[in-house]
Chain A
Amino acid sequence: MPKPEMDTRFSKFGTVSFTAVTKVNDFIGYLEEGKVAGTQCTKCGQKFFPPRSDCFACPGEPVEWFEVQGTGKLMTFSELMYAPIGFGEDLPYAIAVLDYGDFKVFGRIGEVPFEEVKIGMEMVTKVNQLPNGNLNYVFEKA
């Protein structure tokens, strides 16, 4: 019997991915379809972002995927003038957190001039194709 192939899709996440294999590899499948997705516990209904394959309140219960839709409120952000190894080509860029109410999303700000970025502004989360062929998601003006 041939060995089952390891699903290493997660190595496609972000400029440099530090994880190749995870039980939430479908996160990448959704990104490839243009969707940003989190998971939700089928028992207690808790929404998780980043997605997780286990609900800590309901061990053993399955989780299902939901799509991050609509707008979130910008909680905070910072523009980086220096970058860790592997991210220098991306400079300058900004990281941020969006609050969707039921959950929050950590990520990068997209093609928004920094002087227009304000805490409290409504933003949307969009899939983003990176120059190296990888995928992530970015926050754009709503």
Chain B
Amino acid sequence: MRTRTNWPVMILIALGTVLILFPLYMTVTIALKSPQDMLASVFGLPKELHFENFANAIAMTNFFNALGNSAMVTTATVVLTLLTNSLVAYAIARNMNRRFFKGLYFYFISAMFIPFPIIMLPLVKLTAGLNMTNLVGLTILHTVYALAFNVFVYVGYIKSIPVALEEAARVDGTSTWGTFWRIIFPIMAPINATVGILICLSTYNDFLLPLIIISDTDSYTLPLVQYIFQGQFNTEFNLAFASYLMAMLPMIIIYLFAQKWIINGITQGAVK
């Protein structure tokens, strides 16, 4: 009875995807049309493909510069987060019986409840004073802000790794650092993948932090570029949509290849 395909549900689910795909269909077709095409039919497929929209959008937004910035900040944040946040969580997880580390744990995770606007105004003064209004500053801030959630997730995971493994290494004379890097860190691969995916998505798509931190146009990330150039796109929708599509494309491509991983990772990260 339960092994047969449930057709009514299947049809509803299939119809529902139209709601998801329609805006994306519009994005792709508008990006490929000319203004004349649009007048003829807003919904139809483009009569001929206007790839020059992409070329023009690239020139207008200095796209590759922004893509480079976004890629750099995202990569650096992911690497830095995985290396540092896991280490901090390890120290905490293995010493939860000590007051200092337990206190740290709650200190870090309590920040999950602090809305960003609370620190936004003073943060701008602070980063300007420290000369951090650049991509390096952005990377550091993303890494620091990720700590709250990641400590929570990592500590939960590390607790499930038997301490006996480390004791064996220690008997052989491996230092605490060596134990972490050579034994614990490799074991943490699944949770590292989860954290890496979440950080990658949130850093790449983040708009508010770059908006308040970055002042130099050469350092703009992709969302910031879309925001700044929005005014200039006012009448040139085809260029705007070409630009949106290009900005979303890297994550869509990654998603196509790592879909299963991403979905599993998100699930694990939130449920832990």
Q: Do A and B come from one complex?
A: no
